[in-house]
């Protein structure tokens, strides 16, 4: 399985190549916001009708379709945490006929009306939506349901999202500090991303090597603190892979107290107390929800190929318990090889994906 094409539009207003460069430079797009009550990373505003990331999702999906020139039976997988719920709810409360649908309308518009694809799926699985969408597309390809698949992930910050995370005391008054001992919450971000997957042996394209999922069934919004759910997903992804071949981990790293502690414990469990170097990008672009896992797959594939890990923005000093080798301060050179990327979400869902360079 190959990642034949990948691109992302982030608060840095860039695509794939430029994104890695700003991450390597240690830049941060998270800024104070009076409107949302805490620092956020917003997309540059454009004059569009309707939710901005929906419009941009159409842009990146169209770009992936044109540049990738997919042939045969084509599938589009659309990933989002909430779709257009905010707009639908506002219109309903105002007694208006809804202009916006919830989830499937966006995917249908992209797949059927704009790209003329034969099939589409919508994945809405909290904060693992983007990663889960990649897995769903890979399964469809392996099952022979399609010949190529475009996975698109997008979400935008609204009062609904902002107030929801605030009600859980999950947001920080400072830019997010993943894995730092002073971390106290996440920073929200918005973005959209797309990858084109296909069955191929072309060494020019990074490999989607393996993946695993699990659900710890612990709590509606809190992960199991022993890390067993995430550890199980990682073990499934690493089945048949020598763990010493994992060069680094691109962690979910939300900078909440519980998530990062859980991840650290899971990494120690799987790698028997000696996990490989860890990095995260949410201190730079915030938690982009439905786009997060997809962007992290893109970044991980580039790191696997280029052999250069970006620093974890916001990290200075780690925890005493389950300490991690968090890449910070400056980028770190590694041998090209496998990169593990992990995500966890509300409802107990965990995903783990391994990517590698095209020649490995």
- pLDDT value of residue 29: 95
Q: Scan for tokens 């250069």, then name that residue.
A: 308
Query: Residue 78, SS3?
Result: strand
Instruction: Give the H or E element holding residue 338.
Output: strand 338-345
Name the phi and psi angles at 353, rounded to 5: -130, 135
DSSP-derived secondary structure letter, 206: P
How many residues in total does the chain contain?
Answer: 360
pLDDT score of 108 more than 80: no
Average pLDDT over residues 186-209: 93
Say how many Å lie between the first and final Cα of the chain, rounded. Answer: 13
pLDDT score of 341 more than 60: yes
- pLDDT value of residue 80: 81
> 303 with 274: CB under 8 angstroms?
no
Average pLDDT over residues 180-197: 94
Angle (CA) 342 348 354, round 5°: 20
- pLDDT value of residue 50: 46
Residues 6+ apart with CB under 8 A from 216: 223, 224, 228, 229, 230, 348, 350
Strand 349-356 and strand 207-215: pairing? antiparallel
Predicted confidence band at 113 (pLDDT cuts at 50, 70, 90)? low
Sketch out the chain's domains with CATH numbers.
2-198 (3.40.47.10), 207-356 (3.40.47.10)
- pLDDT value of residue 270: 98
Query: Residue 132, SS3?
Result: helix
Cα(242)–Cα(222) distance, rounded to whole angstroms?
Answer: 31
Residue 295's alpha-carbon distances to 57, 218, 239, 287, 316, in angstroms, are 13, 27, 24, 11, 24
* Average pLDDT in the chain: 87
Could you count the other beta carbons within 10 Å of the beta carbon of residue 122? 21
From the list 69, 43, 70, 68, the residue with the least C-alpha distance to 57 is 43
- pLDDT value of residue 86: 61
Residue 182's alpha-carbon distances to 45, 84, 264, 318, in angstroms, are 32, 34, 15, 8
Please, which contacts does 46-52 make with residues 24 or more away whose CB atoms are closer than 8 Å?
A: 50/87, 50/99, 50/100, 51/84, 51/87, 51/100, 51/156, 52/156, 52/190
Helices (H), 168-227: none
Residues 6+ apart with CB under 8 A from 307: 247, 333, 334, 335, 336, 337
Instruction: Give the H or E element holding residue 353.
Output: strand 349-356
Strand 2-9 and strand 191-198: pairing? antiparallel
pLDDT in tens, 52-62: 555 555 566 66
**Beta bridge mates, 332:** 309
Taking the CA atoms of 235, 237, 243 and 248 in sequence, report the sign of the dihedral they define: negative
pLDDT in tens, 122-174: 888 889 999 999 999 999 999 999 999 989 888 888 888 898 899 989 999 99
Average pLDDT over residues 340-356: 96
Cα(249)–Cα(260) distance, rounded to whole angstroms?
Answer: 13
- pLDDT value of residue 360: 75
Instruction: Give the H or E element holding residue 105.
Output: helix 104-108
Predicted confidence band at 121 (pLDDT cuts at 50, 70, 90)? confident
Structure tokens at 143: 């099952």
Percent of the chain with pLDDT over 90: 62
Residue 134's alpha-carbon distances to 56, 124, 152, 188, 259, in angstroms, are 19, 12, 9, 22, 22
pLDDT score of 34 more than 50: yes
Instruction: Give the H or E element holding residue 332.
Output: strand 332-333
């Amino acid at each position: 399985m190959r990642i034949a094409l990948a691109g992302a539009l982030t608060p840095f207003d860039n695509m794939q190549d430029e994104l890695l460069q700003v991450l390597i430079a240690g830049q941060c797009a998270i800024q104070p916001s009076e409107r949302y009550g805490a620092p956020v990373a917003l997309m540059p505003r454009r004059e569009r009708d309707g939710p901005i990331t929906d419009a941009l999702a159409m842009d990146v999906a169209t770009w992936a379709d044109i540049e990738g020139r997919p042939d045969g039976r084509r599938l589009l997988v659309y990933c989002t945490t909430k779709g257009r719920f905010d707009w639908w709810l506002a219109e309903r409360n105002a007694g208006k006929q809804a202009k916006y649908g919830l989830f499937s309308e966006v995917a249908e518009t992209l797949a059927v009306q704009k790209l003329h694809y034969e099939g589409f799926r919508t994945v809405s699985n909290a904060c693992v939506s983007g990663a889960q969408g990649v897995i769903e597309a890979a399964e469809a390809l392996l099952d022979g349901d399609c010949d190529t698949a475009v996975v698109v992930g997008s979400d935008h910050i609204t009062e609904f999202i902002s107030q929801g995370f605030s009600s859980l005391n999950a947001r920080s008054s400072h830019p997010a500090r993943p894995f730092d001992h002073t971390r106290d919450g996440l920073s929200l971000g918005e973005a959209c991303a797309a990858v084109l997957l296909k069955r191929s042996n072309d060494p020019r394209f990074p490999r989607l090597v393996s993946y695993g999922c699990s659900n710890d069934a612990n709590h509606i919004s809190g992960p199991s603190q022993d890390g067993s759910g995430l550890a199980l997903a990682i073990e499934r992804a690493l089945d048949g892979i020598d763990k010493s071949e994992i060069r680094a981990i691109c962690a979910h790293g939300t900078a909440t107290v519980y998530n990062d502690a859980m991840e650290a414990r899971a990494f120690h469990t799987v790698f028997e107390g000696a996990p490989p170097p860890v990095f995260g990008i949410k201190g730079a672009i915030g938690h982009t929800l439905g786009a997060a896992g997809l962007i992290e797959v893109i970044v991980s594939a580039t790191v696997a190929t280029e052999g250069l890990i970006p620093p974890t923005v916001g990290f200075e000093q780690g925890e005493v318990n389950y300490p991690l080798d968090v890449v910070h301060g400056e980028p770190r050179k590694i041998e090209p090889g496998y990169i593990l990327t992990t995500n966890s979400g509300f409802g107990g869902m965990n995903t783990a994906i391994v990517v590698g360079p095209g020649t490995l």
